Amino acid sequence: MAGNYNWPPMESRRQMGKSYTRFEGIEKSTGRAKYSSDLNRPGMLHAMMLTSPHAHARVKSIDTAAALKVPGVTGVRVVAAAGAELNWVSQEIAIVAANTEQAARDGVRAIQIEYEVLPHVVKEDDLSKVGDRATPAGEQVTGDPEKAFKEAEVISEGQYGIPVLTHCCLEPHGQVIEWKGDVINFWPSTQNVSGIGGDLAKNLELPATQVKVHMDHVGGGFGSKFPSDRWGVEAARLSKEAGGRPVKLFLDRATELNMAGNRPSAFAKIKMAAKKDGTITGWESSSWATGGMTGGGMAPLPYVYVNIPNKRLNHTAVKTNGGPLRAWRAPNHPQASFLTCAAIEDLAAKLGMSPLDVMAKNVAWAVEARRETYLQQIKKAAELSDWNKLWHRRGDSGSGVVKRGLGVGICTWGGAGHLSNCNTTIHPDGSVVVELGSQDIGTGTRTIIAQVVAETLGLETRDVKVNLGDNAYPQSNASGGSTTVGGVCSSSRIATVNALDKLMEKVASSLGANADQLEAVNGKIQVKGTPGKSLAWKAACQKLGTQAITESGRNDPRNPRGLNTQGVGGIQVADVSVDTETGVVRMNKLVAVQDCGLIVNPRLAESQIFGACIMSICGALMEERVMDAATGRVLNPDMEFYKLAGISDIGEIQVHLMIDAEQDKRGIVGLGEPPTIGGIAAIANAVANAIGVRVPMVPLTPDRVLMALEERRA
Amino acid sequence: MQAFEYASPSSLKEAVGMLSSSWGETAVLAGGTDILSLMKDYIATPKKLVNIKGIKELGGIAKQGGGIRIGAVVTMDELASSPLLRGEYASLTQAAMGIASPQIRNMGTVGGDLCQRPRCWYFRQGFGVLAKDGSGNALVPNGENKYHAIFPQGDAYFVSASSLGPALIALGAKLKVTGPSGDREVAAEQFFTAPKSADGRETVLAANEIVTEIHVPAAKGIRNSTYEVRQKDALDWPLATASVALTMKGNTVSKARIVLGHVGPTPVVAEEAARALEGKTVTADLATEAGKAAVANAKPLSGNGYKLQLTRVAVKRAVMQAAGVRA
């Protein structure tokens, strides 16, 4: 019998759709939750890295003899030997293991090294100064942009920039690792429990079966924690060399910010052609970006409005001596949203129109499947932000020193469930356990799986044990690209339906019915609609005798059986106040209107959006990697000048999730990235609306805001 | 950090006796909010750390001789919440509350606020307090200097990080400094100095001296206030601050003190701004004039011209706040 995997009808759900708080929330907020970086194993060694102080250099010589003589040092591994080229500050050179953290540090400082310092380029904001580091991509032309601009009733032009950000994970990258005999026990901080062991094994040229991955919690990843990394590989080797003693190596804050991942920058000169009624007829952009020595790809421009009929796109990748880019929550989308929405806002200001009207007017240029969603979202966002009352024409914000303004940003994302396998076991004593090689990077993975399983079995969430965080569990893909909730909910639904079907086959005869006439509700197995003919859950499970049932389920992204799908829109409106004497921007409110199909847990979904909005506020107002042209250093690899919002900087965040029958029938769509995308655009546009002039570069720090105001006056 | 010897004496005499007469050999530990980060970054590598937080005579806030005595190891939180200061010494309370982190207010001390080293990001990365590269080129003037001085002194481009310095100078405070040969008194205004060499320091303290207490004269009737321009409401270094103390005769300012913070390697006494107020009634326009006068002699760098504006505003707002004038 093929199971009926469909989600139960929205109105009859008892567990799914309920706003449980995250099950491990208390554990996490009281510090009882143990992250891999909290682990201390018996006999553990500590490892520290020697990293490059130069943005570009060659290792002339390296001598580790003195390091090996430091008391407590047990081993040194060199990864950048004489002759090696170093291409960014903090690039790994050598790793020292020792009995204590301090001895490891002393060992690092005892290494004798000489560098040949080579020329570097670390800044890309001025494309004319990057010399041979620029690699233009070919021009892409659609339609007839020349004609569109010639015939345009209005042309709007602007230049915009968004800098490199770092992931700044609160739990830095790293691991505890123990290589004893044939087995490596690996406790990483990762968003890739099922995959990271294989990656490590490949780097060590071992069979993947020899690596056992364990991780209960991860303190932030945002796209930067997929691979095993140099520090994982070398820590493993140091463990082996030390006879299997565990080795702990977590990056210090400066190294974390210097080279454990960043979001590429994006700069663009954008020109738009339009009719007086706001219809966009042409787009020209000339963009550039860096994400380190690999350059930086083009953000998807024009964003959302992909079908603008006449387009000319140019892009230049710039190689800079900075740490390498890694995926950053919605790769290239916040940049694209900012560049596009800033240009639309500037066009709207020129037309004297509301940007919401211009966005709605041009919705035909968005993909067809999202058009209606955007129109609904624009309407809702206007309502929640009190747009009709508070919005004014650009700069028309009264005579006071503090100016208030509103702005809008837009998003699009996929979010289909990833490949995920799950085992559900029903024990004869009635206990239930589900196992997946997955992780919780903020999604509330354990909580939502328990809701799905409890829903399926007619139980309470407390009756279900969810085991994640071990690669011995069935393989489930990495948490990236907003794929986790769709993937794990679908696989656990399928596995649990399969297990329940087996249980029903066992108990059917004692209820005098066929298995397909039974249902699991309210802690019972009963004949459908007949509570009188039932067995309590435990009594039903006792019929299994000594044999537990274990069934598997798999979410196959090629056939998600209607359980999950992809494709969302999203509109955010920011309401800001700008002190025009100091250039300080304060958030009044950020409204986030978001669709995401069937929602398993509204509170956790809302929580995802809160986090995303806070990241947007940081990115719009304060966060930026500051590079020094002369020394090639990142000047703010710390939590002091790498500025992030505190609670008092955030203002009100109002989330509106579209929960209705239409959305529900789509199935689950991932939510991690979409709400991270439009906020920067919304905030930057709100500031332009408030002060009457575009601040071309985010973050909107006082110096930039005051400079824009000064240029306007001049 | 480099291994070090730790001492926790219970008397001031003992503590002073443990300090070396040359910088770098020993260091004083109170709240540790600065020295520990300097040590972790190997900017400071003392062989011995002398904890003075356990020395009773260094604590306490009390009335004394019409003014107020503040012990050097009083925490910023004790200072901010002291009823003896609130109102009469509003500028000090405001300055302490500007450190928008309860954790740092709980740990950081008054003496530490005055003696902390610059936050200049070149200094913190090991390029020295005058921030020069290996060839002796100054990194700040053409580098990333948006948080640096608009009143540089010589080769010193960093800004004094002290929150309390400007207010103490404006109020005419005196510091008691204790060394091996006993106590000496230093006017708050004379305490800060711009180093002239890479191994120079930012205060007149000798390596074996400790700031032990602060005396602030009576401020009854002196309207005083601190205004900080900070980008963030949460913990963040101010971009520019002004502390003012106005002695009033009726509605007229008879004497004014205006001291700027975070714009120079020492707090900057803005004489001309003060003169602009004296003999006049404070209005928004007059406060604006004072703000302009405060930066008349500023020398901004390539990337910090905006701090002129922030300083003007800080002065204007501090003056208006002190005088109780609304915009």
A positions 691-710 inside 8 Å of B (CB): 701-703, 706-707
First vs last Cα of chain B: how many Å apart? 50
Question: In B, which residues are within 8 Å of A646 by CB distance?
Answer: 100, 232-235
Contact B231 A707 (CB under 8 A): no
Q: Which of B301, B309, B315 to mutate: most A Cβ within 10 Å?
A: B309
Taking each helix axis from N to C end, the angle separating A193-204 and A229-241, rounded to the nearest 10 degrees, works out to 60
CA distance A399 to A665: 50
Closest CA to B282 of B324, B241, B242, B312: B324
- Write down the mean pLDDT value for chain B: 97
Is the CB of residue A65 less than 8 Å away from at least one CB of chain B? no
Residue bearing tokens 């509106």: A656
Question: In B, which residues are within 8 Å of A101 by CB distance?
Answer: none
CATH number of the domain located at residue range(s) A36-119+173-250 in this protein: 3.90.1170.50
Residue A386 has pLDDT above 50, yes or no: yes
Segment A494-538, tens digit of pLDDT: 999 999 999 999 999 999 999 999 999 999 999 999 999 999 999
Q: What is the CA radius of gyration of chain B?
A: 19
Contact B143 A629 (CB under 8 A): yes
Question: In A, which residues are within 8 Å of B236 by CB distance?
Answer: 643
**Encoded tokens for A179:** 């290589």
DSSP E strands in B262-314: the ranges are 268-269
Distances (CA, A) of A32 to A25, A445, A470, B187: 10, 19, 20, 50
How much of chain A, in percent, has pLDDT values that exceed 70? 100
| Domain A262-415+565-713: CATH architecture, name and number where available | 2-Layer Sandwich (3.30)
Question: In A, which residues are within 8 Å of B119 by CB distance?
Answer: 640-641
Contact A645 B232 (CB under 8 A): yes
CA distance A148 to A154: 11
Strand partners, A154: A274
Segment A83-121, tens digit of pLDDT: 999 999 999 999 999 999 999 999 999 999 999 999 999
Question: In B, which residues are within 8 Å of A630 by CB distance?
Answer: 133, 137, 139, 142-143
SS3 state of residue B111: helix
Is the CB of residue A287 less than 8 Å away from at least one CB of chain B? no
Q: Which of B45, B125, B140, B239 to mutate: most A Cβ within 10 Å?
A: B125
- ipTM here: 0.97
CA B158 to chain centre: 13
Q: How confident is the model at residue A714 (pLDDT cuts 50, 70, 90)?
A: confident
CA distance A227 to A229: 5
CA distance B14 to A38: 39
B positions 33-52 inside 8 Å of A (CB): 42
Strand partners, A51: A92
Strand partners, A58: A85, A116
CA distance A272 to B108: 54
pLDDT of residue A2: 56
pLDDT of residue A1: 44
- The answer to whether A411 touches A678, Cβ cutoff 8 Å, is yes
Mean pLDDT of the A127-137 span: 95
Question: In A, which residues are within 8 Å of B159 by CB distance?
Answer: none
Closest CA to B111 of B225, B219, B244, B209: B209
Strand partners, A593: A571, A656
- The answer to whether B26 touches B47, Cβ cutoff 8 Å, is yes
Segment B95-144, tens digit of pLDDT: 999 999 999 999 999 999 999 999 999 999 999 999 999 999 999 999 99
CA distance A94 to A48: 9
Residue A578: closest CA among chain B residues belongs to which residue?
Answer: B231
Same fold, A36-119+173-250 and A262-415+565-713: no
- DSSP summary character for residue A625: P
CA distance B276 to A209: 79
Is the CB of residue A431 less than 8 Å away from at least one CB of chain B? no
Dihedral Cα A367, A373, A376, A377, nearest 10 deg: -90
**Encoded tokens for B230:** 């900070």
Segment A303-361, tens digit of pLDDT: 999 999 999 999 999 999 999 999 999 999 999 999 999 999 999 999 999 999 999 99
CA distance A5 to A247: 45
Is the CB of residue A633 less than 8 Å away from at least one CB of chain B? yes
Residue A606 has pLDDT above 70, yes or no: yes
Q: How confident is the model at residue A629 (pLDDT cuts 50, 70, 90)?
A: very high
Query: How many residues does this entry show for chain A?
Result: 714
Contacts of B10 (CB under 8 A, 6+ apart): B54, B55, B56
Mean pLDDT of the A291-305 span: 96
CA distance B267 to B188: 10
Segment A439-464, tens digit of pLDDT: 999 899 999 999 999 999 999 999 99
Contact A631 B133 (CB under 8 A): yes
- The answer to whether A628 touches A610, Cβ cutoff 8 Å, is no
DSSP E strands in A199-324: the ranges are 211-213, 247-250, 262-263, 266-274, 280-289, 310-318
Mean pLDDT of the B48-69 span: 96
Domain segments of chain A: what residues? 10-33+417-555, 36-119+173-250, 262-415+565-713
- The answer to whether B217 touches B173, Cβ cutoff 8 Å, is yes
| Domain A10-33+417-555: CATH architecture, name and number where available | 2-Layer Sandwich (3.30)
pLDDT of residue A282: 98
pLDDT of residue B327: 79
Is the CB of residue B144 less than 8 Å away from at least one CB of chain A? yes
Q: How many CB atoms lie within 10 A of CB A366?
A: 21
Strand partners, A432: A426, A464
**Encoded tokens for A239:** 């463990």
Q: Which of A70, A123, A579, A635 to mutate: most B Cβ within 10 Å?
A: A635
